Amino acid sequence: MPAGVEWDDADVDLATASWLASPAGSQAIAAAEALWATSPDSLTAGSRLRRDLPDLDSAQVAAALSQAELRALAAARYGITGSPLLTREGLEQATRPEVADRRARLLSDAGITHVIDLTAGLGFDSAAFARAGLTVTCIERSSEIATLLAANLPDVTVVTGDCTDPTVLDPLLTALPETSVVFIDPARRTGRRTADGSRAQSERDPERWSPPLSFVITLAARELRVLVKTTPGFSVDSIPAGWSAEWVSSDRTVVECTLASWPLFGERRAVGLGREPFEVASSMNDAVVGEVAAYLYEPDPAVVSAGVLDSVSINGLSRVDHESHWLTSNEPITHPALRGFRIDQQVTANARALRPVLRELGIGDLTVKTRGAGVDAEKFRASLKLNGTKSGVLVILVREGKQSAYLVTPLLSE
């Protein structure tokens, strides 16, 4: 929150939430957004907002300014536009619009007509379902957040309550048509924040989510189709028996994994969004391992997370090792799920011995790729103490239990 603004939006009370959702709140937020666009400083904007709207108290001024700041952040960082009511924590957990819209289209194409969102929050996923023409019912346990949710999605049904409470959930499930899906985005925050304080840390144990994964599985046992948004790092080994899963990356960053209690995703698949979209589904292909050839390929992390690396079936492409994610070929290959490099020179993976080689080549700006090699790329680069003027790329990989290093050049397609 900017200096001088006292309101903590993670603890918004019901009175403030109701005011934000009111016409008076909307007017104040619109005025705050206009001020924030020209003077993104809380003290200056606050003084001007009090001058322009003298009936506002200090809490309302702070709340309106917070909404202005969060909306600007939502648009710049997450691509979320429009005029949603936000909280900082809710925004941190938001699904990117392109991911949410794609998921909604998948359901619509699969013949789904109704979604009940058991953990709706501020409604980012439910908004995508509604945009796809699906009927949406939202459950939100916080009265304060439910108030903001109802303002964000005035055309959907909002139920305030805990989805794990049978008195809340059972009547809703009983009334669902057969072409329905139960959607859950469990709360996965530990209460701790990252070292820089910018984000809440994620809880990795699915049984410590709210609701826990075991509760979600019981819903599927009731012969309901269940869709669960999970963490980007969700393990293939944790997929419930009989469920399908999909990992989605946006510009080579895995943004989420979604589980389905029916074969919506086949078995497993990796999907890439952004400049070069792709889809790689699991197959029965066996790993092909070969010698390191003229080219190396780094797979999109969604391919690795989904365990579908061997499904990237291209003639002449092989792994460098059964335990490695790196691929190799004798001829250049183009595939949207692969980032390709031409090998220029094999070098040593020992930093002390490598330093004079790089200095002789005049390399000072070195990108070091070490995934799966057990090497800290930042520490390794710092230990080289380079001061040249040229740039370079170094790949350190493991083959037959030993580290190998290569100076490479990205292919032109990259």
Which of 57, 86, 115 terminates a domain? The answer is 86
Q: What is the pLDDT, as a whole number, of residue 43?
A: 82
Same domain, 244 and 194: yes
Domain residue limits at 18: 9-86
Residues 39 and 186 in one domain: no
Residue 3 lies in a domain: no
- 70, 217: one domain: no
Query: How much of the chain, in percent, has pLDDT values that exceed 90?
Result: 83
Let me know whether 80 and 168 are in one domain: no
How confident is residue 221, by pLDDT bands cut at 50, 70 and 90? very high
Residues 190 and 48 in one domain: no
- Tell me if residue 378 falls in helix, strand or coil: helix
- Claim to verify: residue 127 and residue 162 sit in the same structural domain: yes
**In the structure, what pLDDT confidence band is assigned to residue 1 with cuts at 50, 70 and 90?**
very low
Strand order in the sheet with 318-319: 318-319, 327-329, 295-299, 338-347, 402-410, 390-399, 363-369
250 with 347, same domain: the answer is: no
Please state which of the ranges 66-70, 145-149, 253-257, 409-413 shows the lowest mean pLDDT.
Answer: 409-413
Does residue 278 lie in a domain region?
A: no
Write the CA distances from 89 to 49, 145, 148, 270, 369, integer angstroms: 25, 11, 13, 28, 33
CA atoms of 265 and 282, how far apart (whole Å): 10
Residue 242, domain member (yes or no): yes
Total structural domains within the chain: 3
Q: Do 118 and 197 share a domain, yes or no?
A: yes
Residue 177: inside a domain, yes or no? yes
* Secondary structure class of 230 (helix, strand, coil): strand
Share of the chain above pLDDT 70, in %: 93
Reduced to 3 states (helix: H, G, I; strand: E, B; else coil), residue 288 is coil
Q: Among positive and negative, which fits the CA dihedral 347, 350, 351, 355?
A: negative
* Residue with the larger pLDDT of the pair 412 and 134: 134
Report CA-CA distances (Å) from 80 to 150, 275, 285, 318: 18, 19, 39, 40
Average pLDDT, the chain: 91
Residue 225 region by backbone torsions, left for phi larger than 0, else alpha for psi between -120 and 50, else beta: beta
Helices (H), 186-296: 213-221
- E strands present in 325-362: 327-329, 338-347
Q: Is 25 helix (H, G, I), strand (E, B) or coil?
A: helix
Q: Which pLDDT score, from 0 to 100, does residue 413 have? A: 53
Query: 413: which DSSP letter?
Result: T
pLDDT band at 337 (very low <50, low <70, confident <90, very high): very high
Same-domain check for residues 269 and 302? no
Considering the domain boundaries, does residue 1 fall inside one?
no
Verify that 332 and 256 share a domain, yes or no.
no
Same domain, 190 and 72: no
Is residue 119 helix, strand or coil? coil
Instruction: State which of 43, 65, 86 marks the end of a domain.
Output: 86
Phi, psi of 30 (to 5 degrees): -60, -40
288 assigned to some structural domain: no
Strand partners, 391: 365
Q: What is the 3-state secondary structure (H, E, C) of 32-57?
A: HHHHHHHCCCHHHHHHHHHHHCCCCC
- In a shared domain, residues 68 and 124: no
Are the C-beta atoms of residues 52 and 65 closer than 8 Å to each other?
no
Whether 109 is covered by a domain: the verdict is: yes
Last residue of a domain, one of 42, 69, 86: 86
Q: Give a yes or no: residue 282 inside a domain.
A: no
Closest CA to 163 of 131, 209, 97: 209
Q: Per-residue pLDDT for 214 more than 60?
A: yes
> In whole angstroms, what is the distance from residue 375 CA to residue 380 CA?
7
Domain with residue 216: its CATH number is: 3.40.50.150
pLDDT digits over 263-299, tens only? Answer: 999 999 999 998 889 999 999 888 899 999 999 999 9
Q: Are 328 and 359 a contacting pair, CB within 8 Å?
A: no
Q: Are 323 and 398 in contact (CB under 8 A)?
A: yes
